[in-house]
Amino acid sequence: MAEDEHDAAVNSLLAGFGGWAIGDDYDLGLAIETANPDSLRQLVEAVGALPDSVWAWLAGSESAAPHPSDAYVAVSEITLAADYARVVLQHMPTGD
Q: Domain-by-domain residue ranges, the chain?
A: 3-90
Task: Indicate whether 48 pLDDT > 70.
Answer: yes
Say how many C-beta atoms besides its own lie within 10 A of residue 20's C-beta: 26
Residue 95: the pLDDT is 62
Task: Indicate whether 1 pLDDT > 50.
Answer: no
pTM of the model: 0.91
58-78, pLDDT tens digit by residue?
999 999 999 999 999 999 999
Selection from 48, 42, 46, 54 nearest residue 5 by Cα? 54
Residue 3: the pLDDT is 74
Selection from 23, 26, 43, 47 nearest residue 35 by Cα? 43
Q: What is the average pLDDT across 16-42?
A: 97
Residue 2: the pLDDT is 61
Residue 92: the pLDDT is 86
Residue 5: the pLDDT is 79
